[in-house]
A and B are shown apart, each in its own frame.
Chain A
Amino acid sequence: MPKNPELRRNLWLEITRQRLIAMPLILGIVFFILFIGDSSSGKSLKATLMMSKIIFVVMVICGIKKTASSVVSEVNQKTWDFQKLSSISPWQMTIGKFVGSSLYTWYGAIIALIVYTLSLYYSHLNVYTFHNSYLYPRYKDLTIGAINIKVAILLLSALLAQTLAMFFVMSDIANSKDNTKTINEYKYIAISALIFILFVFFEQAFKGGYVPRISWYGMRMESSVFCALSLFVFLFWSVFGTYRLIKKEFQYKVTPWVWCSFVIFLVIYLAGVMYKSPLLYILPYSLVMLIVITYLTLFMQSKSPIIYKKMLLRFKQKKYREFFEIMPLWMVTYIMAVLLAVFITILLFLPINLDIPYTFRGYPMPETTNWIFYIALSFVPILIMSRDILIVHFFQLSSNSKRGDFTSIIYLAILYMLVPAIFYKLKLYIIAYSFIPLTLVLNYERGLKLSGDPHALWSVIIISASIQLFVMYVIFMKRWKEINKLK
């Protein structure tokens, strides 16, 4: 018997002799009935393939549900405090919950997957037997290697979806500091199941033979192989991320270095797909990705003013380790984005040949305007993001902070759509663009026409973004001072 208490508790609940016998018995009967059908035309094989896959998908989705519920039920049934005060290690809890909760559904899923794999092997080995059958055109190019990749994609995506469900639920628990709150896991089950189903469709579409190739930093590989490798790497990150969340929940000291590593990995991974020579080109893409991740984490994490007050206090007390332990993930990513923007700018000022073409979206740019253009391209998004962060936090500090995120999304939509539209109608084009400066990347020709001078265009946009940030800072600080007046 394993020594892991959580795994053993789940074994008590999940595994009984009757259940152990029932699963293979029922599945065996189903597959037997399907297989004894008309074997010469391949109909029975096709039915077996389809049924085994359906059973696998159903079992995996049940497993996703069981894993998410196993964590949520601890919080909702008020047993989580016992767990937090126990001596169970975070790894034991991660494995105990992940494996233990879905052990029985995986028992069924593995049987279905074995049947599916064997059926694929069988169809490959007897492909010419089915020359005149339904199966022939579908599986004629399916090699043993391709079958292995198909099975690997199914298996890895199932595991990834299950860990993601646990990760999302753990994030929710970590963000909800109110120990009386009830957590609803269904949205996380739905998201994870959807991710899994997308990969099932991808696997279904992959039939061997010619497959589109993908280029990653110039390395060309089959998209199915790339998909399987990516799933494997992301599975590692999701398990590690879940472990870190449990570790934090179990009162261990956790600094955000794993998050930093993940963000760097994600940026490098995605930039690899967009890679174009020279390497410098991936830097603006990386900046955009960091900004997107900052926004995502900003809306996903708790923005309680207590966190920031604690951070400020720890900083004043020079307790830097604790300062980083408390630091929200959006802030970590935000700092990374600012550092990258600074790095890009420094790089442009260095007396080295960066091989940057003096054109932008096909329009020639005078060499002298290059520096202001790149500063604008690096810093205006940072300024606008800073403004948006203050807006989101401003509403979070309101008396009705539960709807803070929703309210801030509405106001951001107004800022990004309604306000520019009004200025546009008033023919104040430059001001309109200054609320959504990145649209100029798409409408550079128009911006150039309106301003007449690229220098003036970018300068106005930098100044405008700075003013917006300053105004928002003043408004935010007023509310921050108000909220610090304690009852």
Chain B
Amino acid sequence: MEEAIIDVQNICYEYPNLRALDNVSFSIKPKTITALVGHNGAGKSTLLRCIATLEKPFSGDIFIDGVNNQDDPRKLHKKLGYLSDFFGLYEDLTVNQCLTYMAWSHDIHENVEDKINILSNKLNLEDLLNRKTQELSRGQRQRLAIAQATIHNPKILLLDEPASGLDPEARHQLSELLLGMRDGGMTIIVSSHILTELEEYSTEMLILNKGKIKEQVALADVSKNNSVISIGIDDIGGNTVDDIINNYKLGKIFKENDNIKSCNIKDGKLIIEFDGDQLQRAELLKSLVSLDIPIYDFTSKKKSFESIYIEALGKKDA
């Protein structure tokens, strides 16, 4: 089993009268993109700042690449890149100067120009190198901030709400950029409210609710097996789920098929939450057709990020 690159153990963080992080524990494998989701005030930013060593937790330990991040935080900074939700740039410097300064700040003094050229090409900043940062658009500033956070090629990148304020095109570029970074060996944690956008690139989802980890989901497994099947039946009319089950004698199928997790009616269609692979979905369709049900539509969709999130929030704490 691959060793975790980030291992968070029983982290607690307190503000006066409020526990922002309550006994949070999880681990993250290398070369993954983890979506950190949760409502406002769930503790996402605090958690990222604790991992980035910018805040000291009240209690608990965080291990980065096997090293406790409180033992020698400065040494770990070489392995970490962090971008806050409210970041700033040096407005009087040019893009090139900003990147040069950041390279020097990370003790990089050789081949700085080459590094900047490679990075600026990757982030579409090559035409902006001589522009002052105050002249950049929101998307351009975001790309520059990411370039600054990654100039030292960190192993771990922590991004707090990186897509806020970006237009759809810039968001798409960000997705591609993050996927490219992951392919290059980086482990990324992204906190965001925009679940649909996280869906494009995340491999894991970490759900935080009221300072506690609600669930950690490996999305590769979810997308493989969990799906929502929408079945269009000719005379569904105003029937209830029970009516449909009784009318078409579906009780036996629903009882025997362990892959069916739930069933309801939405927009005149039977919606089945199904936990099974392609073959098992085909079996289900076959058994429905064998009952002479007038099916005009059978659509299987990957379970959305939003439904996983809402489902997890609905679960009671262990």
Contacts and interface: CB of A to CB of B under 8 A. Distances in A.
A5 B16 contact: no
B53 A82 contact: no
Nearest to A177: B55
B314 interface: no
B111 to A, nearest CB: 16
A401 B16 CA distance: 10
Contacts of A310: 58
Interface in A446-487: 483, 486-487
Given A78-B84, A251-B73, A251-B74, A85 B52 contact: yes
Interface stretch (B98-106, B165-173, B302-310): B98-106
B234 interface: no
B78 A87 contact: yes
A108 B189 CA distance: 49
B238 to A, nearest CB: 46
Given A81-B54, A87-B107, A180 B74 contact: no
Nearest to B109: A3
A277 interface: no
A79 B88 contact: yes
Given A5-B101, A251-B74, A483 B80 contact: no
Given A9-B90, A85-B77, A305 B16 contact: yes
Contacts of B109: 3
A179 B81 CA distance: 18
A180 B88 CA distance: 12
Contact of B77 (A5, A87, A305): A87
A435 B87 CA distance: 51
A8 interface: yes
B105 to A, nearest CB: 4
Contacts of B49: 179
B19 A8 contact: no
A304 interface: yes
Contacts of B90: 9, 77, 79
B14 interface: yes
Interface in B1-22: 14-19
Interface in A27-86: 77-79, 81-86
Contacts of B104: 3, 5, 8
B89 interface: yes
A88 B18 contact: no
Contacts of A304: 16
A134 to B, nearest CB: 46
B81 to A, nearest CB: 8
Interface residues of A, number: 34
Nearest to A305: B16
Interface in B70-102: 73-74, 77-78, 80-82, 84, 86-93, 97, 101-102
B15 A306 contact: yes
Contacts of B202: none
Interface string B36-55: 00000000000001001110
Nearest to A306: B14
A313 B59 contact: yes
B148 interface: yes
Contact of A83 (B80, B81, B105, B149): B105
A138 B179 CA distance: 77
Contacts of A84: 54
Contact of A77 (B16, B88, B101, B148): B88
Nearest to A484: B17
A399 to B, nearest CB: 8
A220 interface: no
A363 interface: no
A258 interface: no
A152 to B, nearest CB: 35
Contact of A12 (B52, B58, B97, B105): B97
Given A3-B109, A5-B105, A81-B82, A252 B16 contact: no
Given A309-B58, A313-B59, A82 B106 contact: no
B77 A309 contact: no
- B77, B78, B88 — which one has the most chain A CB atoms within 10 A of its CB? B88
Contacts of B16: 304-306, 397, 401, 483
A396 to B, nearest CB: 9
Nearest to B91: A77
A5 B82 CA distance: 19
Interface in A86-101: 86-88
Interface string A2-33: 01011011001100000000000000000000
Closest 4 CB pairs between A and B? Answer: A78-B88, A5-B104, A86-B105, A251-B73
14 contacts: A9-B90, A12-B93, A12-B97, A78-B84, A78-B86, A79-B90, A81-B84, A85-B54, A85-B80, A85-B82, A86-B106, A179-B54, A251-B73, A486-B18
Given A77-B91, A83-B105, A87-B105, 20 more contacts: A3-B109, A5-B105, A9-B97, A13-B93, A78-B87, A79-B89, A79-B90, A82-B148, A85-B53, A85-B82, A86-B102, A87-B106, A251-B74, A252-B74, A313-B58, A397-B16, A483-B17, A486-B18, A487-B18, A487-B19
Interface of B: 14-19, 49, 52-54, 58-59, 73-74, 77-78, 80-82, 84, 86-93, 97, 101-102, 104-107, 109, 148-149
